[in-house]
Chain A
Amino acid sequence: MKFSYALIKKLIPQAPTQKKLSEELNLHSFEVEEASGDLLDIKIPANQYSAMGSHIGIAREVSAIFNIPFKNPATKVYKSPIKKNLIKINIQEPKLCFRYVARVFDFNSIGDSSPEIKKILNTCGINSINAVVDIMNLVMLETGQPLHSFDASKLKGNINVRLAKKGEKMETLDKKLQELDPSILVIADDNSPLAIAGIKGGISSGVTYDTKRIIVEAASFDQVSIYKSSRLLKLQTDASARFSHGISEALVDIGINRATELLLQAGGKFIDEARAGNEKIYEEIIPFYPKDFEKLIGMPVDLSKAKYYFKTLGFEINPSKKKGGIDVVIPAWRNDIQCEEDLCEEIIRFIGYDKLEKKAPVFAVQGVEEDDIFLLEDKVRKIFPTLSIDEVYNNSFYGDADIKNEKFNFLFGENSSNVQMINPSSEELKYLRKSLIPLLFEDYEKNAHNFESVRIFEIGKVFGLVSNKPKEKYSLGIFISAKKDNSLILELKGIVDELFKGIGIVDFDFVPEDGEIKVQIDDNLVGMLGTEKLKHGEICAFGEFDFEKMISETEEAREYIPIKKFPSTMRDVSVLVSKDIKIGDIIQRIQDTDINIIENVDLIDEYEDESLRGKQSLTFRIVFQADDRTLKDSEVNEEMDKILKILRSEFYAEIR
């Protein structure tokens, strides 16, 4: 909110320089976002528009911070002249308009404001119109109560506070035609709306240089109603901002009396008044005990010091029925003070948080717990860097093009779709990501010209709409690329091997299906791997994992397996087999010949070319080892004979 330093200085002449003022307001009151020229742009907290959305409010703060006296100019009360019943007010919506006060003034002529007032308005971003309209705005700046003035001669009949009728329109002061909705509160005469209540006046009844009789309105409206209307119309004004935040009904009298004082000074004649709605304003009484302050803040305070700050802020103090405390009467315009904690804040902020000594809290020592997800993340993040894979963070949002790139749908099932936002930040970001893969592909594109191979992973939430319910889960995505490597997916298999073993998952299977590989733990699908040729002829392999399913599988503690004491024997065997035969099947079959002494079977060479006419040349390395003895050559030879026989008979292998 914009404030004029000149007006603050006028209200509290001993106020320090603008620089000092803004520094201290920052430390004791609220954030001053800008201080230049005559301007102080202050971030008024959302609950303090009634208390601080006014120069008088700021002056009170200045008075308390710098311990300098402040004399409120807006205290004169003007009594209504003898009632002439020139106007009548009908509040048809008492739940939306609590009070309405209207005063009538006659003018011989309406001129312009002084340069001083024009400057203040200008600082606060308000155009000077004429002396009367300027007084309305100036009083709002001073007291925080928005006011409005009508040209009385334009009014037909009564002032009615009602909801707009369907199809009703009104041209506002800035010459924009507003279409009104029946949820919007208006101020109307007997014919048509004169103003959108609490938001903006209409041009037809605006006060001009020619106006001879004016009606000044000070009213109090329901904050939610003004907030909603202002959003609906996309029309935000100084008045609507104040009403939307909830300003006290007490400001109505303060504002109208201050306006009366200034209008009289400007040559106006106060001739009549009409009032409707509440007249009784309640003030909150909150007990305050220094011991409560000490408990909440962590330092003691003298009751006398507390009283001093309360009085400076305009609070009244009454003796308390209970010992050791006081009853604090909260002025109605301080509607932000609602509990004793609020009162404690009023004291500590003026004392200054820097005066509060820090103190180590006493915590009960309980075992620190971490949700499982963090433990698994940590384990995974320990492994990937050792495999030369970098971590990326992508957006949680993507668009239609990315949906086409969701490679797998096992995370949320075949029938899931994407969660959408009502208000996406753009068309390209209108869905929540359902898979990490599409953006990993984009990451590859971004990096391909800088790096020979892109090897990345991401851990993050993905979102799916399942039976119309949005679901979320943690996913792990991996993407690796290479210039020329048709079997890159085997490297990915190796990465997954290392990863799973590293996080403590020992029993898992790779199950190839339709060119993809399922990663399963006890028939439970936890991940999928795939491979593709990229645009530039490069190869990529990628995988995605249901991170939450993995959590439950990693809980078993790993145990040491004794290193075998007896030496192993290695034998290589090269075979020529049909290309249709799966390497995995051969390895499995060899392994099965004697699980007791075949320690490991690995593929160490693979060769294919035209001269082999549809066959592939494979070399396996078989490691024999026993737990309880050194294997004899004869034993191994016997075993090898068995294996060769199986290879020939079951795989039609030609032993080379």
Chain B
Amino acid sequence: MDEILSIKKSFLEEIKEIKDADALEKLRVSYIGRNGKLTAILRSLGALPIEERKKIAPLAQALQKEIEENIKSCLSSFATHHSVDLTAPSRKLSRGHLHILTVVEMDIRKIFSSMNFSIVDGPQIESEYYNFDALNVAPNHPARDMWDTFWIKQSEAEKKDSKKHLLLRTHTSPNQARFMESHTPPFQIIVPGRVFRYEAIDNGHEINFNQVEGLVVGKDINIANLKFVIETFFKKFFEGKEIDFRYRPSYFPFTEPSIEVDIKLNGKWFEVLGAGMVHPRVFEYAGYNPRDWQGFAFGLGVERLAMIKYNIPDIRLFYSSDLRFIKQF
């Protein structure tokens, strides 16, 4: 009797450790196989006196049954893994996808937030004054042709006053003037948003697209600082990639000096950003004394960065609403 109890005890302990079907089979053989521990007892029953046999036989048979059941249920727990063809394709679940431009804009916002930039919004229908005059872009100067402009239908009287003459903003830069008029430095902001250009649509041009404007003003903000902020941004944006930077002189009426920034990624140069030191006249328009403040501004194209980062060949894809495109991201 004691022997049967100890067999039971050792079996129950051993089966807890069993991890696969092979080991289970070995266990089965060692207990109820031809030379198993329990089998040996069952075989020896015939040799026992009848009184003792009556006492032990039911226990031994019960244990045999218990062992068999235990093995069976243990096996079936393995079997659930085996009965599924694991090479079959995964079930199709669905989630919604954010537009890739949203994802990129969120990344941009996050990086600048981490550098203590505030995030500011501005109107898309803008006055000629904020879009051009306040940015030192003189009226009737060909410099204005750098921005092909959509003009809003208005009365002749309104067209004569540049503060009332309306257009679709051609860049996010008007918010430099708007923000400065109502805030005192030091500050650092970015202004993400949609802008418009009156031009032919092709794989690199859209009539509406997204920009992010940056503006930092303080007592002694300089170009070396501009380089730092820009390089920090791009290194984070293209995380893990080797990037070279190239700075070229450029011209914007609202910055002096003005620069163009190129980055080299995977052996290829890309123009990614225009920037410069805020022109003293822009400070004057905003009501600042240019001798008190110094700052830099920059502008980058969201579509352009998305195209570079995700290898998207055609800007029109962003506005195609083709879910085969949108669901990729």
Contacts and interface: CB of A to CB of B under 8 A. Distances in A.
Nearest to A347: B257
Contacts of A420: 152-153
Nearest to B208: A396
A108 B231 CA distance: 66
Interface string A270-304: 00000000000000000000000001111100000
Given A295-B294, A370-B118, A378-B106, A419 B125 contact: yes
Contacts of B140: 223-224, 227-228
Contacts of B251: 30, 45-48
A368 B117 contact: yes
B311 to A, nearest CB: 19
Contacts of B250: 30-31, 45
A21 to B, nearest CB: 15
A558 interface: no
Nearest to A397: B207
A614 B123 CA distance: 54
A470 B248 contact: no
B285 interface: no
Nearest to B118: A369
A374 B260 contact: no
Given A359-B224, A374-B109, A419-B125, A425 B207 contact: yes
B227 A358 contact: yes
B96 A385 contact: yes
B324 to A, nearest CB: 6
Contacts of A47: 143, 251, 253
B interface secondary structure, majority: mixed
A31 B260 contact: yes
B322 A447 contact: yes
Interface residues of A, number: 90
Contacts, number: 233
A48 to B, nearest CB: 7
B95 interface: yes
Contact of A358 (B194, B228, B279, B318): B228
B247 A297 contact: no
Interface string B104-145: 001001000101111111011100000000000000111101
B248 A421 contact: no
A99 interface: no
Nearest to A451: B323
A631 interface: no
Nearest to A224: B140
A348 B201 CA distance: 37
Interface in B215-246: 216, 218, 220-225, 227-229, 231, 246
A614 to B, nearest CB: 39
Interface string B303-329: 000000000000000111111101100
B178 interface: no
A494 to B, nearest CB: 15
Contacts of B84: none
Interface in A389-428: 389-397, 419-425
Interface in B152-202: 152-153, 155, 166, 168, 186-188, 192, 194, 196, 198, 201
A29 interface: yes
B249 A396 contact: no
Contacts of A31: 248, 250, 260
Contacts of A463: 124-125
B146 interface: yes
B194 A386 contact: no
Interface stretch (A120-128, A453-461, A583-591, A620-628): A453-461
Interface string A94-114: 000000000000000000000
B277 A394 contact: no
A425 B148 CA distance: 11
B94 interface: yes
Contact of B223 (A30, A348, A363, A366): A348
For the complex of A and B, the 4 pairs showing the least CB-CB separation, nearest first, are: A298-B224, A45-B251, A353-B247, A345-B257
22 contacts: A46-B146, A295-B222, A296-B277, A298-B225, A348-B223, A353-B227, A356-B227, A358-B231, A360-B225, A363-B186, A368-B116, A371-B120, A373-B121, A384-B96, A385-B95, A392-B99, A396-B124, A420-B153, A422-B150, A423-B151, A456-B323, A460-B194
Given A29-B249, A390-B327, 11 more contacts: A244-B141, A298-B225, A354-B247, A358-B228, A363-B115, A363-B188, A369-B118, A371-B120, A391-B97, A392-B99, A396-B194
